[in-house]
Chains A and B, each alone.
Chain A
Amino acid sequence: MKEEMKWYKQEGSWSFDPPYDKDPETGEDLEKIPFEEYCKKLFDPNKVWDKPEALKGWRHISATMYILSPHVGATLGEFGAEVIKIELPKLGDPMRHTSPFNEVYLWPETDHRPMTGTGMGYLHANTNKYFVTLDYHAPEAKEIVYDLVRISDSLAECYRPGTFYRWGIGYPQLKEVNPRLIYIWLGGFGNYGPRRYGGSYDILGQAVGGLAAITGWHEDFGGHPAKQTNWLIDWYSGLIGVIGVLAAAHYRRKTGEGTFIDLSQISCATRATGYAFPLYGRFGVVRQRWGNWDTLLCVHGVIMVGKTDDPEHPNPQISEESRYVFVSAFQDEDFRELCYIIGRPDLWEKYCSLKERLKPEAQIEIYRALEEWAADKSRSEVVEILNNAGLIAVPVFSAKDVYECDHYWERGTLRWVDDPIFGNVLVHDCTVKMSETPPRAKWIWRPIGADNIRIYHELLGYPLSKLKELWEKGII
């Protein structure tokens, strides 16, 4: 078998042939070593750059804005595709001008806003892309897009339904130019239906999709629906878009046919509501919010403890807010142990099966008892006591805790990128660990139109004089 499979071994690659008997460098027998050592060898973050890329040779056009649709390109880019991001001249992606409380901008300045650089909001959705500018409105732009599409495999766009079609670059026209093109449209309400023209944002998807209705504290406790932080549905729907593109690529390999994918992020949010719809359809029960507790398991929730580990720290996020612990003890033995630790054996006698514990009144009583017990302890004390007893308790990490956690650094999840333009920027990288073709972040982003010459001149072969002409017209 080994002989047969020689042909695909890549030059200069660390990866080795199956069966995975020996480490190619040290000759160590991989059969014998403990499983954890084996994993460390396979997923070693230091070896990431020696390994091949999964999607090398795939070319993707990202005619996108904000987070949802650029994330498709960024993910493909991390897996090795060549991604060309098209932005409007001068202004660029509006996300470049977005930053928390308008504070965090990286140099360099853009020529539109003399005072700012590019905001943090742009981070991670535009990794590994090449940045070109193009004004689609101009009549010359159509031919340029056709030229790009002819040599590309997929295209993502996010403009309102029919906009690209009106400009002559919609799917019906592009599939004539390149029948192998996988065209994905990402947005809120989709390309057809009564509200197809409605604009959408991540938070809108959460609101209408039903995810907001099940997140946060119940109104009986005085609570309101809470937003899933950080445009979560944008990012998550972008990933579903990647699933669509790659599945279509698998199909295209067999048939040579491209496709059009109409992805609605609201639908993605609806897909993440778990048992809500089966329950409503069958029993007419409308799922409600249940705060920090779990509807399926108990004890399995977040509790507040008395104090933080560093009450003197000037940042209130550390001195006041880092005081929550996630406790999980839903199996009977675990729960019994927990009740004895907190000095409430009566709770165990009262609620000795999961079914009993899950009742809303029982949950309120149990979590109240836990918080009372923890009221005079700090976060690390609570976690230590429970972990020493062999139970599962995890502190609710803040960004500081994540940053200081060795686990993520050792696994290569957090990494400083020494960007040639922006200097040191921390990125989360290697999200999924892959033994052969791990994803990786090469650069975070580039200035607007930084790769115009690389793409238009070097790839498409337009003479520089033409580029100059286009630039003077304000098309690129």
Chain B
Amino acid sequence: MVYYWEHDCGWVNYLDPYYFWNWEGKVKCAGCDKVAYFKFVNGELLEYKEVDEEADIFPLYADNPNEGYVSIKVGTEGKTRPFRGLMRDPKTYTGEARTRTENFAGKFIRAMPNQPKKAGFAESRRFAWIDRTKSIDVWGKDNYPGKPIYGKFKVGEVAEEEHVEE
């Protein structure tokens, strides 16, 4: 067993396979802060008990299927552990959209629409807030739900409540 479901609080903590494949220790639930002792051998959960001690480690990521998959993202303080093998500055993973990209030669490469902060990791979810049920015919029209607004914000500024997920 590699992930586990805290039935009381409804949060699912994802214990990533490689780290926890052969592992023994205490993990804290990101949702309800309960600590449990785990022993995995070859991916099989051999022992599991709830304990009243400090946790050794946090999970990387957790979400709650009962509340529309609201999630606790990687590197949330006190909840999930950070992922240090990032490709870029940690800053850029925390929801600051970069609307304008310039390359190292200083030339303008591309721009992208503003997006709400709650979209999460910058640029990594930019489709999530477009209504996926709409077909290409709908996107092609001038006004569709969630259409990005160009030019209304300054560079770096983020539209907070403009595009709400349906």
Contact = CB atoms under 8 A, between A and B. Distances in A.
B124 A102 contact: yes
Most buried by B among A103, A314, A315, A403: A103
A100 interface: yes
B126 interface: yes
Interface in A95-137: 100-103, 105-107, 112, 114-115, 117
Contact of B105 (A317, A321, A424): A424
Interface string A224-250: 100000000000000000000000000
A114 B18 contact: no
B124 A316 contact: no
Given A316-B84, A316-B86, A423-B108, 17 more contacts: A101-B121, A101-B124, A103-B122, A103-B123, A107-B110, A114-B136, A115-B113, A115-B130, A224-B21, A314-B89, A315-B89, A316-B90, A317-B85, A423-B103, A423-B107, A424-B107, A425-B103
Nearest to A416: B105
6 nearest A-B pairs in the assembled complex, by CB-CB distance:
A314-B89, A424-B107, A103-B123, A316-B84, A424-B105, A107-B110
Contacts of A112: 136
B84 A320 contact: yes
B75 to A, nearest CB: 11
A440 B18 CA distance: 42
Interface in B46-92: 84-91
Interface string A411-428: 000001000001111100
A115 B126 contact: yes
13 contacts: A103-B122, A103-B123, A103-B124, A114-B140, A115-B130, A117-B110, A224-B18, A224-B21, A314-B89, A316-B84, A316-B90, A424-B103, A424-B107
Nearest to A320: B84
B38 to A, nearest CB: 17
A222 interface: yes
B127 interface: yes
A416 B104 CA distance: 10
A117 B109 CA distance: 11
Given A112-B136, A316-B85, A423-B107, A222 B22 contact: yes
A113 B109 CA distance: 19
A152 to B, nearest CB: 34
Contacts of A423: 103, 107-109
A230 to B, nearest CB: 13
Interface in B134-157: 136, 139-140
Dominant secondary structure at the B interface: loop
B88 to A, nearest CB: 6
Nearest to B110: A107
Nearest to B113: A115
Interface in A399-439: 403, 416, 422-426
B86 A315 contact: yes
Contacts of B84: 316, 320
Interface string A295-333: 000000000000000000011110011000000000000
Contacts of B88: 315
Given A105-B110, A315-B89, A403 B124 contact: no
Contacts of B110: 105-107, 117
Nearest to A422: B109
Contacts of A115: 113, 126-127, 130
Contacts of A316: 84-86, 90
A101 B74 CA distance: 14
Contacts of B18: 224
Interface in A313-367: 314-317, 320-321
Contacts of B136: 112, 114
Interface in A73-95: none
Contacts of A222: 22
Nearest to A399: B87
A114 B87 contact: no
A379 B126 CA distance: 38
Nearest to B98: A103
A100 B92 CA distance: 14
Nearest to A317: B87
A112 B127 CA distance: 14
Nearest to A107: B110
Contacts of B123: 102-103
Nearest to A313: B89
B119 to A, nearest CB: 12
Interface string B94-115: 0000000001110111100100
Contacts of A403: 104
A408 to B, nearest CB: 14
Nearest to A105: B110
B32 to A, nearest CB: 30
Contacts of A317: 85-87
A401 to B, nearest CB: 14
A222 B24 CA distance: 14
Contacts of A320: 84
B37 to A, nearest CB: 20
A161 to B, nearest CB: 33
A114 B86 contact: no
Contacts of B126: 115
A403 B105 CA distance: 12
A156 B104 CA distance: 36
Contacts of B122: 103
